[in-house]
Structure 1
């Protein structure tokens, strides 16, 4: 099958399109998926750079975590999914601890049934592919921070893949009392459209200088020292990029299809929406161009790859 792989750690130049990579074999608790669309995440290029090489799987590795596609084969112990089902999910259970070598930037991928959910009926494959890793990170992260109805939230990097879902889930699923978020000047109205009550232009204002403090600060950009200054006494700072300064804490996603199933009603009703960068989707043969764009840190929402061969 065709697949985007790397056999050594490094910059974008080590990512190669192979035309005859061996397709994965389906284990008894897995399904084989014909990939229709996939999405890129910063964790992809961090892994390619070798940031997690001590716990990585042996090279070569196929890039990609997020997938939306069609089940073409099921293992003997798969209970709920069947051939022909349209599914989506994050196929890698632990993002940085022994991740599988078979990612999603290939014609076919495999995943354990527990990582997948049926694709929301109202979403196309491109929209569905934009969701799994970021919506699970947003949901699990808010839970880990003890966020609940009536609490206030500050999101650092509200226009990004995770941040755009944190705002929506905090408002519509968790019942936030107030949501503030940071972005560049051009994206302030976008933050408000997602549900932010206060949009902060980080090029003009230091969020930590606000007189108001927040129950939870969700840091998607790696500014935990500053984030602590915006936290209420007894609050929480959750960090998904870089090191966390105590009492802030680092959070790494564990893929879980049950989260997708729980959130599907919000997606199918249109209350929560995927956010796809307008420069995309990028076709399968332009994956490296898509990564180059993602690595500028200017993307709004998710960078999606579509169509596939």
Structure 2
């Protein structure tokens, strides 16, 4: 791996605003300190999430880390240094993870849009052997969120589920996990016309074109509705008696279960066999990967809300 440098390139912003106006490539950023429970990662690939641009716009200033900051939650790369308490990883290991324990509470000042980042051992997992760094980087925050939501509804084999926003980062994983990991008897999912085949390919039995029909008017009702788009009020109309709605879009509307992910590498380790067998697949936006130098363009694409799956940055120098 060679010598670890004292400074590096990273995308940073020093004030809140739109990504196209505030995000700048900084060629002289100090490497993050590595605590005893952390590893230093040479980042090879990163992926973007809506929370990145919402944070950049000042969406949770009161609990944000100080500026300037480098955005990015999802990373895949190679361990180049380990803290004294680290037991699971060694230098040279290929790892991936969502590097921020609490999405909205003091995310790391140096995120994944940097040549190096530091993360706690418990937030990371070994990269699936069959996946590229770009594919692995696409997964952590969204697949962990998908899994956590299914767990919170006590989803299990034989149940039915409706996924609102099936072609997005979280939705593509909810479909696959529900069908191929939990053993759903039926998976329905909403998307626009051009994305229906993707839903079928992922395992959806009933793709619903939301531009042409209202899911809440379907005669069929479901055990679980997983809302990734913020239509929780309508979601209850598609629910069986005794069913559950889970949402990741604030404010959540009780009695829906609303949650914000706590990152956990153990979830990734648990799902690695399904990723390595090909039962569950990463879904990268067709325009991905974006070069590191094109991070602003990548954010602009994500901000259209038309991205499919995940927007990935690769390679990182």
Give the superposition deviation at 1:297: 0.8
Which secondary structure does the structure 2 equivalent of 1:236 belong to?
strand
- In the alignment, is the contact (CA less than 8 A) between 1:145 and 1:238 conserved in 2? yes
Cα deviation 1:43-63 (Å, max 9, x = unaligned): 101111111111111111110
Give the superposition deviation at 1:99: 1.7
The residue aligned with 1:275 is 283
Check if 1:29 corresponds to 2:37: yes
- In the alignment, is the contact (CA less than 8 A) between 1:227 and 1:237 conserved in 2? yes
Cα deviation 1:222-270 (Å, max 9, x = unaligned): 1111111111222111111232122112111110000000000000001
Aligned residue among 28, 36, 49 for 2:57: 49
Separation in 2 of the partners of 1:174 and 1:252? 22
The residue aligned with 2:150 is 142
Cα deviation 1:254-306 (Å, max 9, x = unaligned): 10000000000000001100000111100001101000000111111000001
- In the alignment, is the contact (CA less than 8 A) between 1:59 and 1:101 conserved in 2? yes
- Alignment of structure 1 residues 1-309 onto 2, 5 Å: 1-12=8-19, 13-309=21-317
Separation in 2 of the partners of 1:227 and 1:49? 29
- In the alignment, is the contact (CA less than 8 A) between 1:32 and 1:109 conserved in 2? yes
Cα deviation 1:24-79 (Å, max 9, x = unaligned): 01111100000000000001011111111111111111100000000000001101
TM-score norm. by structure 2 comes to 0.96
Count, aligned residues? 309
Runs of 5+ unmatched residues, structure 1: none
Which secondary structure does the structure 2 equivalent of 1:21 belong to?
strand
Give the superposition deviation at 1:88: 0.5
The residue aligned with 2:4 is none
TM-score norm. by structure 1 comes to 0.98
Give the superposition deviation at 1:162: 0.5
- In the alignment, is the contact (CA less than 8 A) between 1:238 and 1:249 conserved in 2? yes
Q: Which moved more, 1:64-73 or 1:10-19?
A: 10-19
Separation in 1 of the partners of 2:55 and 2:199? 29
Separation in 2 of the partners of 1:101 and 1:21? 11
Which secondary structure does the structure 2 equivalent of 1:98 belong to?
coil
Cα deviation 1:55-113 (Å, max 9, x = unaligned): 11111111000000000000011012000000000000000022221210000000000
Separation in 1 of the partners of 2:68 and 2:31? 13
Runs of 5+ unmatched residues, structure 2: 1-7
- In the alignment, is the contact (CA less than 8 A) between 1:224 and 1:243 conserved in 2? no
Separation in 2 of the partners of 1:142 and 1:62? 31
Which aligned segments of 4 or more residues in structure 1 are displaced greater than 6 angstroms?
Answer: none
- In the alignment, is the contact (CA less than 8 A) between 1:136 and 1:260 conserved in 2? yes
